[in-house]
Structure formats: structure tokens, C-alpha cells
Structure 1
Amino acid sequence: MFANGDVAWLNEHADAAINAIADAQRLIVGLDARTMFSDGGYTETPISAWTEAPNEGSDDAIERARGEALDALLLAKSEGTHVLLNWLKERDAIRADGCGEDVR
């Protein structure tokens, strides 16, 4: 975990992190590639973002988000040294404007 609250995993652990988050019934809403530098700086590249599908149940949304995150891993790993994941505690935390409330 970083000082700003971001959570990232080394590339080789990212698939296990995605599965653990989804297994805990959390909805993965974003995946970024992050490269860390020795001076504490970093670059970040957005790779994928979950979008809501009409009439999709929570379990289906969680599984679709898991699949999309796993599919995006190859690109993320080619773009950085770490994979940053964003998730919501529940799908219901998605507000009407499509933005998520951070309820980790």
C-alpha cells in the first residue's frame, strides 16, 4: 500500500491478487500499470476500467470484472513493474453517475 492509499502488486503476484479480490466478492473497477523509480516517483498507465452492464447481477458483474482484469494483465505487465488495482466492496457502491465510492 502506498501513502496515498493505492494498492499495487508486483507483476508476478497480480493474477493471484485479482482472484483473491474477486473471491472476496469485491468488484474490480480498474487496473493500471505502474513503474516505480528509486527516487520514490512512478509512472502510471491506465489499462482497463469496468463499466456497468444493464440488468447484470452482482455475482455476474464480479466475475466479468475478474475476467476483464485477468485479460488486461498481459498489457499491464508489458507497461510497468507493478499492477495497481481499484475495487469496490459492493457493486451497489456504484453511484448513479457511474462513479464509485471507495468502500474498501
Structure 2
Amino acid sequence: MDASPSDWRLMATGAIAVIGAITVNGLTDLVFAPLRRLLAKANSTARSAPARSAPQVPATLAEGLAQVVHAAEDGAACRAASAAFRIDQDGWLRYQAE
């Protein structure tokens, strides 16, 4: 079975396309590698804040209830601050002291 000239052209075009894709992939790696390193470094420094750890397991019921009360107080304080900020959208209350 003889291959016609159009078959050879099709094979050559496919080979050129594959070689071109490999070349473009290599060049983009050269260009984007420094950018990836820069973004990874920025991402790692952004996460440098200390992580909060879970509280210790209470030994007694009283300690457990104290932890629950403390968590409820913290949650209530956070919700109150958020609500106050939401209420004062125009900033009038926050900037009256200045």
C-alpha cells in the first residue's frame, strides 16, 4: 500500500505540531517557573501567622463548663463587634472620637 503525498504531508504536519507543542511547553515552563516560585514564597509568608490550637481536654466537668462559657463569651463578643460595624456603615460612630 503506497502512501499518497497528502498522507505524507498530514504526517509531517502532525509531527511539526507535536514538536511545536513540546517546545512551547518547555518555554512556558522557563517563563512561569520564577513566577510560581514568587507566588509560593508569597503564599508561605502569608501563612506565617501562628495557628490557633485546640483547647486542652478538660479533666473535670467544671473545667469543661468553664471552656464552654469562655467560648460562648468570645463568640458573643465577636458577633457584637460585627453587628456594631454593620450598623455603623457610614463610620459616623467610629470617627466621632477623632
TM-score bracket, normalised by the shorter chain, equals: under 0.3
The TM-score with structure 2 as length reference comes to 0.24
Q: Which has the higher helix share?
A: 2
The TM-score with structure 1 as length reference comes to 0.23
Q: Which has the higher contact order (CA 8 A, sep 6+)?
A: 1
